[in-house]
């Protein structure tokens, strides 16, 4: 059974709730807030639990997800209040509503808070989840998630849209290539083309002798790809509009392998570089650190962790290949590591180096400077 009493603030005690030890105030000193609001947010409704400084539940219930219902429920408890909610799907909607009403809103890390209390509950309901969140908030035991700025949120939304369209285009192209399996002899030359859906490739596709139904599928797929390409161009205009004054984007574009899109993606996901004390902290956030297993004085490092910001990890790993083509020093390191660690691990090491470079550039507000390929590359610094 997981308990939180070992980490409770000295001003609070504990009492059982659904098999857990939950902190309660002992009245020795006043808390910084009079009202502590636990919020269990769902798609159609939200369950709210309001507690006073002693942990007594003043009000508990469901409300519809609209600002009027939320304000009506919380009106008597808004003075000197703070609230907590998990960073779930579309959390920004409820967070902004609460931010207008309460003095402070805490965004809880969903994985850490579930491990700490909620997931271990013997009985799990919306009311219990909201109550546990309120108790943890009152005891200052909430593992917080970073709340990005409004500008970063908007840029992330624009970037996600482009990513969606590009992935959709890839799916459509793969459907066309699947048709080739039914015509192995006729499509042998097409499989070797580098740009099958470019001008030359489309000319060959038009000459391909296939069945009537396959011809209709190919023609509709090509027309759909053209529509998607137009949406991608429109999405890119939106991205440029929301990042045109971002100095970090301009700085990141000077790194080999990081172009227009990845520079904007990295800048949006990091948002504020000062929240990371070191490049190692940023690497852990991006998931570019090895998993570690330690027992009995022995330690093993495995594959990179699955947790972390998947967008940052993807951006740096994808940027590794073009970076090696543009920067001889990175290529030199890659080839050296490939001989002993293998291609995949060597590529991840290069991605980690790019992340370290990006961290130092953003921290020091300096552009990238190239160096000699034979000079020993340090993971701690590539800046003069």
pLDDT tens profile 187-226 = 777 777 778 888 888 888 888 888 999 999 999 999 999 9
pLDDT at residue 63 greater than cutoff 80 = yes
How large is the average pLDDT for residues 93-108?
94
| Boundaries of every domain in the chain | 5-138, 151-245, 266-364
- Flag whether pLDDT at 382 surpasses 50: no
Cβ atoms of 95 and 107 closer than 8 Å: yes
- How far out from the chain centre does Cα 267 lie? 12
For residue 88, is pLDDT > 80? yes
- Mean pLDDT for all residues in the chain: 85
Q: How confident is residue 122, by pLDDT bands cut at 50, 70 and 90?
A: low
Q: What is the pLDDT of residues 166-176, one digit of tens each?
A: 999 999 999 99
> What pLDDT was estimated at residue 351?
95
- Provide the pLDDT for residue 203: 85
Phi, psi of 273 (to 5 degrees): -65, -20
User: Residue 274: pLDDT above 50?
Assistant: yes
Q: Which two tokens stand for residue 330?
A: 């990175």
User: If you average pLDDT over residues 73-78, what whole number do you get?
Assistant: 94
For residue 305, pLDDT beyond 50: yes
Strand intervals (E) in the chain:
12-17, 20-25, 35-41, 45-51, 57-64, 81-86, 104-108, 290-295, 298-304
Task: Report percent pLDDT > 70 for the chain.
Answer: 86
| The pLDDT of residue 302 is above 60 | yes
Query: Check: CATH 3.40.50.150 for 5-138?
Result: no
- pLDDT for position 159: 96
Helices (H) and strands (E) in the chain, counts: 14, 9
Q: How confident is the model at residue 119 (pLDDT cuts 50, 70, 90)?
A: low
pTM for the full predicted model: 0.80
Directed axis angle between helix 260-270 and helix 310-326, to 10°?
Answer: 140
pLDDT for the residue 296? 82
- Sequence-ordered list of residues with C-beta below 8 angstroms from that of 335, at least 6 positions apart, any chain: 346
pLDDT band at 373 (very low <50, low <70, confident <90, very high): very low
- The mean pLDDT value for 340-368 works out to 93
Angle at 104 between CA 101 and CA 107, to 5 degrees: 105
Residue 68 to residue 72: CA distance in whole angstroms = 6
pLDDT at 372: 57
Instruction: Check residue 120 and give its pLDDT.
Output: 60
Q: Per mean pLDDT, which range of 102-106, 283-287, 303-307, 341-345 is the poorest?
A: 303-307
Task: For residue 25, count other CB atoms closer than 10 A to its CB.
Answer: 21
| pLDDT class of 68 with cuts at 50, 70, 90 | very high
- Whether 20 has a pLDDT exceeding 60, the answer reads no
Evaluate if residue 229 carries a pLDDT over 70. yes
Lowest-confidence segment of 231-240, 279-288, 296-305 by average pLDDT? 296-305
The mean per-residue pLDDT over the stretch 318-332 comes to 92
Confidence at residue 114, expressed as pLDDT on a 0 to 100 scale: 66
């Amino acid at each position: 059974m997981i308990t939180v009493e070992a980490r409770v603030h000295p001003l609070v005690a504990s009492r059982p709730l659904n098999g857990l030890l939950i902190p309660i105030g002992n009245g020795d000193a006043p808390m910084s807030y009079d009202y502590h609001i636990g919020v269990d947010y769902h798609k159609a409704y939200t369950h709210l639990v309001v507690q006073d400084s002693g942990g007594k539940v003043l009000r508990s219930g469901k409300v519809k997800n609209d600002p009027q219902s939320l304000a009506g429920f919380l009106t008597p408890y808004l003075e000197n209040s703070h609230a907590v909610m998990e960073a779930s799907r579309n959390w920004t909607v409820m967070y902004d509503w609460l931010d207008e009403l309460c003095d402070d809103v805490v965004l809880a890390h969903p994985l850490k808070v579930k491990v700490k209390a909620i997931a271990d509950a013997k009985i799990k309901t919306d009311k219990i989840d909201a109550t546990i969140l309120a108790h943890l908030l009152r005891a200052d035991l909430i593992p917080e998630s970073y709340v990005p700025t409004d500008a970063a949120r908007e840029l992330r939304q624009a970037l996600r849209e482009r990513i969606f369209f590009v992935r959709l285009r890839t799916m459509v192209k793969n459907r066309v290539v699947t048709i080739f399996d039914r015509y192995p002899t006729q499509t042998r030359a097409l499989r070797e083309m580098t740009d099958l859906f470019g001008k030359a490739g489309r000319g060959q596709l038009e000459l391909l002798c296939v069945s009537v139904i396959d011809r209709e599928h190919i023609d509709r797929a090509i027309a759909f790809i053209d529509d998607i390409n137009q949406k991608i161009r429109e999405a890119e205009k939106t991205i440029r509009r929301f990042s045109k004054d971002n100095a970090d984007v301009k700085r990141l574009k000077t790194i080999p392998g990081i172009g227009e899109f990845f520079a904007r993606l990295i800048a949006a996901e990091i948002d504020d570089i000062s929240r990371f004390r070191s490049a190692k902290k940023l690497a852990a956030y991006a998931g570019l650190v090895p998993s570690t297993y330690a027992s009995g004085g022995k330690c093993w490092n495995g594959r990179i962790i699955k947790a972390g910001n998947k967008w940052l990890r993807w951006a740096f790993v994808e940027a590794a290949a073009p970076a090696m083509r543009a920067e001889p020093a990175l290529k030199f390191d890659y080839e050296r590591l490939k001989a002993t660690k293998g291609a995949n691990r060597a590529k991840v090491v290069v991605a980690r180096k790019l992340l370290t470079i990006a961290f130092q550039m953003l921290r020091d507000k300096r552009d990238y400077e190239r160096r000699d390929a034979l000079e020993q590359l340090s993971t701690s610094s590539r800046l003069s």
